[in-house]
Each structure stands twice: as C-alpha cells, then as structure tokens.
C-alpha cells in the first residue's frame, strides 16, 4: 500500500498513535509500541508515568525505522531492556542477527541496555526488573 501511494507522492492517515503498557504481577511493565512513530507521550506517559521497563518496538513499514526506534528507547522511554519486532525483514540466521539488517542497525544504536532478539520457537521470560531469566 505504501509503495502504491509513494509513486504518486501520496500518504495515508492510519489512525492515532496506539500502543499499550501491560503490567504483570511480578512488577514487569511492558510497552508494546504497536505501529506508532515517535511521540511525546513516550517520554511523559510511557517512560515517566508508567515507567515501562521492557519495550517491544515494532519497526515495520507503518512504524518507526531503526534510527527512530533507537532514539525512542535511548532518549524517551529508557527501559531496562528491549525486544525489536515486526521488522518486516529476515533479521536472523541460525539465531544470529544478520549484519546488514535493520535489526542489526537498531541493536548497534541502542545504548546501555540489552536488546533481546525474538527467535521462532524460543520463549523468553523476564523478572520484574526486565532482566531476561530464561530463553535469551
């Protein structure tokens, strides 16, 4: 859809920024970014009020790209850990990130916190501080 519109220099409105913060009984607070772009609420509400300590960041065609998502992590949300998702590319081979991928670019841009790659068939488990305790 995006490429069809781009040929005619058109864009489409896809709705309000929408993400969720899910709080678990162990204290883990996970921000699920959905297909959003950078927004001020990431700092004031998601990082400030909810204090999300794990972020699952979508980086697809209708979401942030590597640089934007890393900025949101480093400067706005500042979680203890992050999981990139919905990157719309083959991001790993044999459990290792592909060096030329957008995912690798994101991993390199995120500072001071672990980036956990989602792998098919692997389940990750986090404690209340967003430290991965199994499956990472």
Confidence of residue 104 (pLDDT cuts 50, 70, 90): very high
Give me the residue label for tokens 């489409």.
12
Question: Does position 9 have pLDDT exceeding 80, yes or no?
Answer: no
Q: Extract the runs of DSSP E, i.e. beta strands, from the chain.
A: 20-23, 29-32, 54-58, 81-85, 92-93, 96-97, 125-126, 132-134
| Average pLDDT, rounded, for the chain | 89
Q: What pTM was computed for the model? A: 0.84
In order of their start, the domains of the chain are 2-134 (3.60.15.10)
pLDDT of residue 136: 87
Tracing tokens 């409105």 back to the chain, one arrives at 13
Backbone region of residue 112 per phi and psi (left: phi > 0; alpha: psi in -120 to 50; beta: other values): left
Q: What is the model's pLDDT at position 25?
A: 97
Question: Sorting pLDDT into bands at 50, 70 and 90, what band is 62?
Answer: low
């Amino acid at each position: 859809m995006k490429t069809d519109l781009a040929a005619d220099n058109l864009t489409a409105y896809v709705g309000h920024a929408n993400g969720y913060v899910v709080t678990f009984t162990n204290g883990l607070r996970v921000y699920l970014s959905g297909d959003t772009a950078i927004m001020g609420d990431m700092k004031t509400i998601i990082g400030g009020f909810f204090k999300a300590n794990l972020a699952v960041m979508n980086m697809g065609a209708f979401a942030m790209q590597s640089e934007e998502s890393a900025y949101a992590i480093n400067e706005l949300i500042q979680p203890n850990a992050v999981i990139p998702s919905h990157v719309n590319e083959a991001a790993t081979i044999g459990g290792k990130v592909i060096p030329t991928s957008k995912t690798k670019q994101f991993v390199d841009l995120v500072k001071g916190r672990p980036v956990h790659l989602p792998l098919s068939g692997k389940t990750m488990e986090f404690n209340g501080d967003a430290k991965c305790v199994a499956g990472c």
